[in-house]
Amino acid sequence: MARMKKIVLRDGKERSLLRRHPWVFQGSIAKGSADAGETVRVEGHDGRFLAWAAFSPTSMIRVRAWSFDEAERIAPAFFERRIQRAVALRARLPIASNGVRLIHGEADGLPGLIVDRYDDTLSAQFLSAGTERWRDTIAEQLCAATGCTRLYERSDSGVRGLEGLPARSGWLKGDGATEVTINEHGWRLTLDVAEGHKTGFYLDQRDNRALLARWVKHFGCRKVLNCYCYTGGFSVAAFAGGAQQVVSVDSSAPALQRARAHMDLNGFGDRDAQFADADVNQFLRDALQRGETFDAIVLDPPKFAPTAAHADRASRAYKDINRLGLKLLNPGGLLLTFSCSGGIGAELFHKIVAGAGLDAGVNAAILQRLEGACDHPTTIEFPEGEYLKGLALLKA
């Protein structure tokens, strides 16, 4: 049997692993190397065991911990246990949909693995050297744990390039049509696991879509603007809440086409649904110049700051769209504003939106702080997993 390779950390760099944070960066390693995805024993400078981990020789994050239990073995049975545990957790959660995040990376003890279930179809992203090495085993265990026979791989994220891995997509298990219909809060939503964003859809906003529907109804919002609408999930929610007009803005024509189809699919084809294929920032400026106003606005932009290094530029972009959004709201209007940028924390996002309010000359109350749906958990040891943050504001 081959001897397990060791990674030894520099003196004083053990703290994160001792606190069960799963990442070790390049600069924390004193010695040791391994092949991409190979399981390594991570030790402190004094030889103390810290973790079993996957090694990523080209990534700034050189080590991703699988387990902090020295007695555990990283073998097929390990992945079977972790996957079954994650699936069992989702079965216990109050999820009003058959579209579910089954595996949420580090939060489920499987760093670099994202798996969503859309009805009877699984869609997976293998984003680290470790998950790439165990890809076939993971695919087998996913199908066994869920009973699904179709698994589509969406390992086409730019993150794989940082791991020295090529982009890849296609059926890993089963085959057939890539379009799937899911039910969410009684609404019907379609997606394409091959062409849609991420694994096909944004399940993390499920609870916030329901929240919008409730508040549109509660506050009597008649005219709603949905910016960066993608395939119109928030637009469906607004109509479900009783909105009379919803304007959906996105720069993707295919996404808008699906958004239009969602109106008909959910019985809103006779409502005043308007669609704008436009740059959101320019649309907001033009709407302000026209003197247009709205009762509720959703700002759900793409990732402006993938890392903290992009935070300054992203902060300016977030501030600008929120300033415009607040100015376009009627008094008493509702703003749901989000950031999915890992480089922008919740506290910084709050400061950005507060600055936008000052620049707009607007007072607003925070009704609620928003986050991802409950099937996108975070752990207390890994705050970086809390990527989606948002605020629900009521304009004075």
d(CA 258, CA 253): 9
Q: How far is CA 136 from CA 35, 124, 133, in A?
A: 18, 12, 8
Q: How far is CA 308 from CA 92, 369, 389, in A?
A: 35, 21, 15
Catalytic entry in 221, 227, 229, 340: 340
Q: How far is CA 80 from CA 22, 138, 173, 377, 384, in A?
A: 20, 8, 17, 20, 25
Are the CB atoms for 328 and 297 separated by under 8 Å?
yes
Q: Are strands 99-104 and 61-67 parallel, antiparallel or unpaired?
A: unpaired
CA angle 382, 156, 336 (to 5 degrees): 55
d(CA 337, CA 395): 13
Listing DSSP states for 99-128 in one string gives EEEEEEGGGGT-TTEEEEEETTEEEEEE-S
Active site residue 340: yes
Residues annotated as catalytic (active site), given as ranges: 340
